[in-house]
Each structure stands twice: as structure tokens, then as C-alpha cells.
Amino acid sequence: MLNLSPLFFTAVDDESCMHEELELTPEQRAWIAGAQTEVRNCLRTGIPRVLRENGYVDDVPQPRFFTQGSWAYKTLNSPAQRPQQADLDDGCYLPLSFVSQTKRPSTATTVFFAAAEEALRPLVNEKRWTLVTDKPTCIRIVIASYAHIDIPLYAIPDEEFAMLAKASMERYGYDSFMEAAIKAERDAWTALPSDQVLLAHRECNWMASDPRPVKEWFLGEVEAKGEQFRRVVRYLKAFRDWKWSSGGPASILLMAAAAPLFEKRDRRDDLALLDVVAALPTRLRSGVNNPIEGSESLTDRLGNAGVEEAAKAFEEFEKMLRGAIDANSSSQACIWMRGEFGPRFPNDPDRVKVVSVAATIAAAPATAGPSELIGRTKAG
């Protein structure tokens, strides 16, 4: 049998692996982070200015921002093919007085979207970015061929938001303002009133929607199961992105479906992935619900045809992955894996290890032990 795990993940600094190939380059991450800062600064001053210019006489506090989605979960993969793009989800929170005074005003969402879009236009034009305004639940800014920033708009009562911001900034004495701002954002995120977080929707006005529980659920799963679980989720997303240039099962669906199927395999990411992929078709066909809201079906979003297409794709994936692990030829195993993942899976058969059946069985389940080292180290 073959151990393909070194080609999935390695901690040796001078050896490539698919996990490393899934990462954005440092330059790409810096570009996205820089664009995020510019967008935040633009909205921070621009939304109050635009609202005042359009006759809103009350004081409008500067919005605050909370990063969510795959960037926050640390499951963001670089795009596998066009037209895919890396997505940074950055929620914009504004304590509008008319939102707190009237439970769900039908005009407030229109005003919020219009003010944010008008505030962003000068920056977007200057940077030659693209402003997308037809997404029902967010504003999208395409900042590069490989990346965009999505800005969902949220509202909570102004009094509570102002109290949270003030308390968070005054509670800590930091030498660095940036350090204080990061801590304040984290505290405010945790303390937001969960029953009053409203998402602006272009068609449905306001929707009760709090992104924190899903993030907390996933990070809790990683804490309980280990970093290998996060990597397996990224491999599932990498397979999806190679098989579907657009569409396919959503990331939240893959996360929710994989969580109960995962078992840690000691230093064997290939086997941990195989465990999940082998059981995934049945789980998809039986239906997967939101781990936070059990009444919400995640598979219903795909529809029956989409679920069956995904189930069959993962059945074929299991055959190829199992065949690669059971193969006699490491070169053939690499060819099969590159067929499932594309060129981001290394074509390096010399690093594939031959192992016994007994060693494979012994790899799981692993006994509890020290946390895995995160990051890459020098060989030697």
C-alpha cells in the first residue's frame, strides 16, 4: 500500500505539498488585506458623509467591521481555475437609529445599500476595481482577477453598539492602537446581541442573521478534532473547485457533512480524507442540515439533481483515492490524484512511501496526544 500523505501535507520546509499549493501567495494575501483596509476606511468615513448629504440629520456613528467566512475559518483556498476567485467576507455593522426605532423598516435596507455603494464608488473608480451591486445580501468589489471582497450589511441598535465599542476600547491599555483596535473588534464581535443582529437584504428587507454561531461551531470542531480536520475540509473544497468551475456543493455544506464523518489518522491525511469521502455520498443523499439551525437543510439549496451530481462525483473520487492508496505504482497514484485535484497536487512519486497494511491500520484512530505543530519547519 502507498502513503500519499507527504504529498498532501508536510512540515518540511523545502518539500512541496498540495496544502501549500492551496495557499494564496504572500503577495496575494497582502494585496487582499490592503484592499480590505482601504474599503473599511472608505466606508468608515463615507457612509456617515453620504447619509448626511442625503438629509439624514442625526449623528451616524462610524461602522464597524467583522471578518467572517473562509478567511476567518482559515479554510480559504486559492482559485483552482477561472472564473473562481478568493473571497473575503467582511461584514459592515452600522447602528442606524431608524433600525432600532422600527423593528424592520422596509426602507432602511435600501438606504443602507445606497449609502455604502455611493461611499465606495470613488475608491473603486480610483483603483479600477469593479463594484457589483446585484447580489441580494452583499456588495461585492472585484479587486483582482483572483479575488473579491463581499460586504454584507448588518444593523444592531445604536445604543448597544456604541456601548460595546466604547467599553471595548477603554478596557485595555495597549501601546499599539492597532493592537487595541483588533482586541476591541474581537470583544465587540463576541458581545453583539445575537437576537438583534439583522442582515440587510435587497429583496427581503431585513433578515435575522448572525454569522458568529457557524464560525464558533467550525472553530470548535477544529479545536476538538485537530488541524487535520481543517486540512481535510480544504482538500474537499479543492476537489470541488477542480471538478466544478462554478457551483457545486457549498463550503458550509461540505463542512457540515464532513464533521461527523472525520476521524483523526495519525500523520495520514490521505486516509483521513478517504474516510470522509467514502461516507460522503450517503450523507449527502440522506440530507445535511445546518449545524447551528437544525431546521435548515443545506442540501435543499443544491436541489435533488445537484445533490445526486455531487454524490456521484464523490463516489468516483473515492474510487480514485482508494485506488491510489492501494496502487503498486507511485507514479500512477500521482497521475490519478492530479486528475482529481489538478496540477496543485505534486507530481513527485519519489516522496510517496510504501507501507504495510498493518501500519495503515495502526494509523487510526490515533490516541490523544500533543497538538500538531502549525507551520513549516526546516529539515535536518
- CATH number for the domain spanning 106: value is 3.30.460
Q: Specify whether 140 is located in the same domain as 222.
A: no
Least trusted range by pLDDT, from 106-110, 155-159, 202-206, 354-358: 155-159
Determine the residue type at 261. Answer: L
pLDDT confidence of 145, banded at 50, 70, 90?
A: very high
Q: Domains in the chain: how many in total?
A: 2
Give the three-class secondary structure for 329.
coil
pLDDT at 376: 42
Q: Specify whether 147 is located in the same domain as 229.
A: no
Q: Specify whether 9 is located in the same domain as 136.
A: no
Q: Specify whether 224 is located in the same domain as 334.
A: yes
Indicate whether 172 belongs to any domain.
no
Half-sphere exposure of 259 (CA within 13 A, CB side): 19
Phi-psi map region of 207: left, alpha, beta (phi>0 left; psi -120 to 50 alpha): beta
Q: Specify whether 253 is located in the same domain as 323.
A: yes
Q: Specify whether 220 is located in the same domain as 205.
A: no
Indicate whether 182 belongs to any domain.
no
pLDDT confidence of 236, banded at 50, 70, 90?
A: very high
> Tens of pLDDT along 270-319?
999 999 999 999 999 999 999 998 889 999 999 999 999 999 999 999 99
Q: Are 143 and 31 in contact (CB under 8 A)?
A: yes
The phi, psi pair for 139, rounded to 5°, reads -105, 135
Give the three-class secondary structure for 358.
helix
| CA end-to-end span of the chain | 27
Going by C-alpha positions, the residue among 233, 340, 320, 332 that lies closest to residue 278 is: 320
Phi-psi map region of 102: left, alpha, beta (phi>0 left; psi -120 to 50 alpha): beta
Q: Specify whether 201 is located in the same domain as 227.
A: no
Indicate whether 37 belongs to any domain.
yes
With a cut of 70, say whether residue 180 has pLDDT above it.
no
CB under 8 Å to 47, separation ≥6 — which residues?
60, 62, 63, 94, 115, 116, 119
Q: Specify whether 202 is located in the same domain as 218.
A: no
Q: Specify whether 344 is located in the same domain as 246.
A: yes
Indicate whether 177 belongs to any domain.
no
Q: Specify whether 244 is located in the same domain as 327.
A: yes
% of the chain surpassing 90 pLDDT: 65
pLDDT at 283: 98
Indicate whether 59 belongs to any domain.
yes
Determine the residue type at 226. Answer: G
> Which domain does 334 fall in, by range?
2-17+213-362
Indicate whether 169 belongs to any domain.
no
Q: Mean pLDDT over residues 181-185, rounded?
A: 48
Indicate whether 374 belongs to any domain.
no
Indicate whether 185 belongs to any domain.
no
Q: Specify whether 86 is located in the same domain as 124.
A: yes
